[in-house]
Structure 1
Amino acid sequence: MRVYVPATFGMLGTLAREEKMPVHSGLGFALTPALRDFYEAGDDEEIEYSAFLEAARASLRLLTAGDSEFPHRRVVISADLPAEAVTYTPEKGESVVTLAPPEITVAQLAAIHVDDEDNEAATAAAVEVVDAADLGDEDAEIAVGDAEDKLMSWYDAKELGVLVDLL
């Protein structure tokens, strides 16, 4: 099952060095039955993209705690996990899943998505107001939306070491 795991660049470095990474709160995002039911139209790929966007927003929340290397770059890790390692937790949201064990390994890595340098200003603004956006502040929602509108760069799983070394 494809799971989108929110991360920071520091967490990505941990994955590269240790070949495994703890998943914050043990939570990821995936195409779940509830997410599929939520949308009246669209194919699985389109609906799955909304789970990816939820992971990108969760990455903003992780950045509020600080990441010394790249404090304004969202990271989402796409991982392919066995179905028995993923439990749908509907009380936490339509796309939220719990991972057991609460970690991912390099072997499970499918792709890496990272904000480019050009996205940093929008991401920095969103980091400052993501909680207010969640509480309905319209200006904050616009700032977070601006960051979410920026596409993240895609890297193949094989590029993990190079990505961490070059950035």
Structure 2
Amino acid sequence: MRIYLPGTWPMLARLVKTGNFEPIGGTAFALTPRLRESYVSGDDEELEYAAMLEAARASLRLLGVELGLGEEGTPARRVVVAADVDDVTLRPDLDDGAVRISGPVPASAIAAVHVDNEEAEYAVRQAAGAVDAADLGDLDAEFLVGEAEDHELAWYAPSEIAFVVELG
């Protein structure tokens, strides 16, 4: 199953160093039956994109924590790792596309990495600080999150990940 793992720049750097991506709490997103039911229409490609966007929003939450802990050197860029894994458990207690995996994802299972460009950093930094309030219905915070989500994530092949991290 294709899954989308939310991450941050330091998590991407650890992937390059160790050869494994270690998702926080095993949380990932995928085209689940519940996600499919929540849309009136859309083909698999469109619905997988929706799952990737859920992972991108989760990446904002992770960034909010890192930046809140004083990790100011962390680039304010959303990171989503797309991977193909077999051992996936549905998480109906979370978002429509939420799933859980057990353990790290080896680099060999990674299909692509999606990362914000440098131009998105200001909007992403603002959104990372506002995403929790947006989740609770704050319209001003939702506007800030929307500003970040207006930036398309760039696509990178697995062979390019080390270069992306190095050039940061």
With the length of structure 2 as denominator, give the TM-score of the two structures. Answer: 0.93
Once the two structures are superposed, residues 113-164 of structure 1 have per-residue CA deviations (whole angstroms, 9 ceiling, x without a partner) of: 1111100111111011111100000011011011011101110011111112
| Letter of the structure 1 residue corresponding to residue 158 of structure 2 | A
Deviates more, 1:60-69 or 1:142-151: 60-69
Aligned equivalents of 2:154, 2:29: Cα separation in 1: 19
Superposed CA RMSD in Å reads 1.1
Aligned equivalents of 2:149, 2:159: Cα separation in 1: 26
Counting aligned pairs with the same residue, the percent is 47
The residue correspondences of 1:118-129 to structure 2 (distance < 5 A) are 118-129=119-130
Gap runs ≥5 in structure 2: none
In structure 2, the residue matched to 1:106 is 107
2:93 counterpart (91, 95, 105)? 91
Secondary structure of 1:10's aligned partner: helix
Q: Contact 1:29–1:51 (CA<8 Å) still a contact in 2?
A: yes
**Shift of residue 31 of structure 1?**
0.1
| Letter of the structure 2 residue corresponding to residue 148 of structure 1 | E
With the length of structure 1 as denominator, give the TM-score of the two structures. Answer: 0.94
In structure 2, the residue matched to 1:70 is 74
In structure 2, the residue matched to 1:157 is 158
Aligned equivalents of 2:122, 2:4: Cα separation in 1: 24
Q: Contact 1:8–1:59 (CA<8 Å) still a contact in 2?
A: yes
Secondary structure of 2:48's aligned partner: helix
How many pairs align? 164
Q: Which runs of 4+ in 1 moved over 6 A?
A: none
Aligned equivalents of 1:110, 1:154: Cα separation in 2: 10
The residue correspondences of 1:1-167 to structure 2 (distance < 5 A) are 1-66=1-66, 67-82=71-86, 85-101=87-103, 103-167=104-168
Aligned equivalents of 1:26, 1:156: Cα separation in 2: 22
Secondary structure of 1:42's aligned partner: coil
| Letter of the structure 2 residue corresponding to residue 100 of structure 1 | S
Gap runs ≥5 in structure 1: none
**Shift of residue 19 of structure 1?**
0.4
Aligned equivalents of 1:162, 1:21: Cα separation in 2: 16
Q: Contact 1:9–1:69 (CA<8 Å) still a contact in 2?
A: no
Secondary structure of 1:13's aligned partner: helix
**Shift of residue 46 of structure 1?**
0.6
